[in-house]
Amino acid sequence: MKKAPLIYAAQFALGGLAYCGIEVAFRGYTHRSMLAAGGLCFVLLCLLARSQIGLLPGAAIGGLAITAVELATGVIVNLWLGLDVWDYSHRAFNLLGQVCLTYTLTWCLLSGLVILFARVIRGGALLYWERAAKRAVLAERAAVIAQTRRNRIG
């Protein structure tokens, strides 16, 4: 069984829950559409974290990607369906009242932190697996040497 779909599903679920948690912490409420938006955003940030892109460009791309997802979600949920989940039209530099510069910059900062955290965790996991692989190779070599010695004696 391939691990990638399970990893993406776990990232999606974790990201959606975290995104909703951030909204509840700062706004006092959230909407179920944010579960999907947050899940998608977190998967995108995890992909950025695995890439070779630098931290600052990754943070900028991540913040802009989250803003794009929020804009698309806002247009569907707020403008097309009329659910009025949020309205940023009172904020400076807003676009259709769905996104604004302040939150875009906030998402850039948070994206950088998520990418950095993911890289630290991934680096630690890679270091663990590298060490485990080296131990396995050394154990295999030791077994070959022991078998060679037994064959010479016997």
pLDDT at position 110: 96
Q: Any idea which residue has 């078998």 for tokens?
A: 147
Domain of 75? 4-118
User: Does 80 map to a domain?
Assistant: yes
Instruction: Give per-residue pLDDT as tens, 38-83.
Output: 999 999 999 999 898 999 999 999 999 999 999 999 999 999 999 9
148, part of any domain: no
In a domain, 96, yes or no: yes
**For residue 87, is it within any domain?**
yes
For residue 146, being part of any structural domain is answered with no
For the chain, what is the domain count?
Answer: 1
Whole-prediction pTM: 0.77
Q: 80-129: per-residue pLDDT in tens?
A: 999 999 999 999 999 999 999 999 999 999 999 999 998 888 776 655 55
The Cα 7–Cα 122 span in angstroms is 13
62 is a domain residue? yes
Q: What is the 3-state secondary structure (H, E, C) of the chain?
A: CCCHHHHHHHHHHHHHHHHHHHHHHHHCCCCCHHHHHHHHHHHHHHHHHHCCCCHHHHHHHHHHHHHHHHHHHHHHHHHHCCCCCCCCCCCCCEECCCEEHHHHHHHHHHHHHHHHHHHHHHHHHHHHHHHHHHHHHHHHHHHHHHHHHHHHHC
Instruction: Kindly state whether residue 73 falls inside one of the protein's structural domains.
Output: yes
Sequence-ordered list of residues with C-beta below 8 angstroms from that of 51, at least 6 positions apart, any chain: 58
Q: Is residue 137 part of a domain?
A: no
Q: Are the beta carbons of 66 and 42 closer than 8 angstroms?
A: no
